[in-house]
Structure 1
């Protein structure tokens, strides 16, 4: 009886797949089976190993995966495939380190097959089906990737200030606060950013806000939300905010041009997939300026703002690697794309 139960559990486990989209501020974990049934979606805090450390990131991912299995009443089962698409996996060494910290051995193996990719690749898989194109990520931080039809890939360091990055919510927020303080102290041009920042944060003065930042008293989300304030003030016509927004757009264009140059695609239309809450701001003027700049640089570009959760791309990679046949994968992918539109994450 015991042997039969173990055998049945193994058979069921081979049908499970998990996709993980791990970012700086949050991590989405999707659990499904190879028939295309979405079983659970949990959300935990950010898991970038460069931000919180390799071992804490691995522990967070394991607990999140366990939570997804438990919510689906499949606790203790081992998935056929787990695909990680994470910020902080920027080199083969990063990928090897994450796999080593998470994979486990013997009965503690996290999956029959574990794969690791950068989070930018998840969006490409969702938006293009074959993973060919350019993806630009603009969330808390920034990154990009280019993949052509021959599989050649252009990657970027994406290490923040030390690799010359700009355009994520964190960088925009610091730039907004810095511009506001310079204006207040008479070191920079006048701007509406100071008043807008105080309205948003509720602090009585910029000095009080700076003191709170220094003393770690800023509420959850910190000054990271000020990137949105900057784009809103640019939309209202503030010159200083517009200059910072333009710099952000210039960096996005530079990523796209470099990706196309290093992994050139010969397709008539080149998808540019935009991923992340910052770059996907719905402000119409900003969006128009971003699209115009990208198309001016790459005239045959096709803008594809990603509306589905990037974790779906990770889940589809897991489906690809699950051992299911081509016809079964095609049916399952269609079902999962439909199911995710009605699903919502449970925060753990």
Structure 2
């Protein structure tokens, strides 16, 4: 039987990876480009960006135009609400890039990249924070992930903003003393924290540089600062809560299941956060296995495409080949 072809996309808030492969487990091409999140772009812009990246991946794989993709699996940030997922599914299907399509939130690619176990909960903590879960019978758990509008707390951008917030208040006397104050000054080479805030406001410092302060929070906390340590513990509280709620919704809390931790803040395995989380999650769900993502999320998107092509379960040998290739 001739191998069938697929394309798989993992779209984050800053970049998108697209893979083209076949049903025999070969990866034929991989390209990286800008985000396709409809929260960052317009809806039409997201579709156009996806089309362009799939075309690039096809070209890199040297696929003639006449050869059809059997399946296109797209997992992207910005597919949070059911109405958004439905609209994206319809839009991607209408592009006619493949015979069949699947579109969902990028957390499900992260989950598949982290574990083949059907019962699993994943938390991503990168620039933002979110969680999702799946159960063997197809049930899922998810959050709206609309930032403060939906009660979210945490993520690298939030921690960075808190570092500046607490440093400013420590400097002018509105808040408690913290080593974040001199650390923020030193990081940006400015005489005061207020000068840092003003430089960010006026554009003298690029706004994107604020995110560098996430690392500063962890450095200051590791050195023993009480306020920075409380911020890190508060993040651990939030991640534990996301897992608890997700697992409870799916009836998994006291069952064997996999917890996948992903995103740059968690894959860094900073001891103050990582060790605390492992202890908390073991106490929360003694039967759960905790894993830190080591495969790129696009591997999960590719495996989900292969699951589709193989009737729901990619053969283990093919899964190993895809993971090795990516």
Q: 1:312 to 1:202 in 2, by over 3 A?
A: farther
Q: 1:245 to 1:300 in 2, by over 3 A?
A: same
- In the alignment, is the contact (CA less than 8 A) between 1:24 and 1:141 conserved in 2? no
* Alignment match, 1:344: none
TM-score by length of 1: 0.86
In 2: Cα distance, 1:175 partner to 1:161 partner: 14
SS at match of 1:84: strand
* Alignment match, 1:83: 73
SS at match of 1:313: helix
- In the alignment, is the contact (CA less than 8 A) between 1:269 and 1:300 conserved in 2? yes
* Alignment match, 1:343: none
> Is 1:18 equivalent to 2:7 in the alignment?
yes
> Is 1:194 equivalent to 2:181 in the alignment?
yes
* Alignment match, 2:228: 241
Q: Counterparts in 2 of 1:99-138, with a 5 A limit?
A: 99-105=89-95, 109-138=96-125
In 1: Cα distance, 2:29 partner to 2:245 partner: 38
* Alignment match, 2:19: 30
In 2: Cα distance, 1:219 partner to 1:74 partner: 41
Q: 1:42 to 1:202 in 2, by over 3 A?
A: farther
Q: Figure out how many residues of one structure are paired with residues of the other and give that number.
A: 325
Q: CA RMSD for the aligned pairs?
A: 2.4
* Alignment match, 1:57: 46
TM-score by length of 2: 0.91
* Alignment match, 1:48: 37
Q: 1:168 to 1:18 in 2, by over 3 A?
A: same
In 2: Cα distance, 1:268 partner to 1:328 partner: 24
- In the alignment, is the contact (CA less than 8 A) between 2:117 and 2:257 conserved in 1? no
> Which of 84-93 and 171-180 deviates more?
84-93
Aligned match for 2:201, one of 214, 219, 225: 214
> Is 1:335 equivalent to 2:324 in the alignment?
no
- In the alignment, is the contact (CA less than 8 A) between 2:160 and 2:212 conserved in 1? yes
Partner deviation per Cα, 1:118-161 (whole Å, 9 max, x = no partner): 11111221222143211111111111112223332211111111
Cα deviation for residue 336 of structure 1 reads 0.7
Cα deviation for residue 326 of structure 1 reads 8.0
Structure 1 unpaired stretches of 5+: 1-10, 341-348
> Which of 219-228 and 313-322 deviates more?
219-228
Q: 1:312 to 1:183 in 2, by over 3 A?
A: same
SS at match of 2:170: helix
SS at match of 2:132: strand
Cα deviation for residue 281 of structure 1 reads 2.3
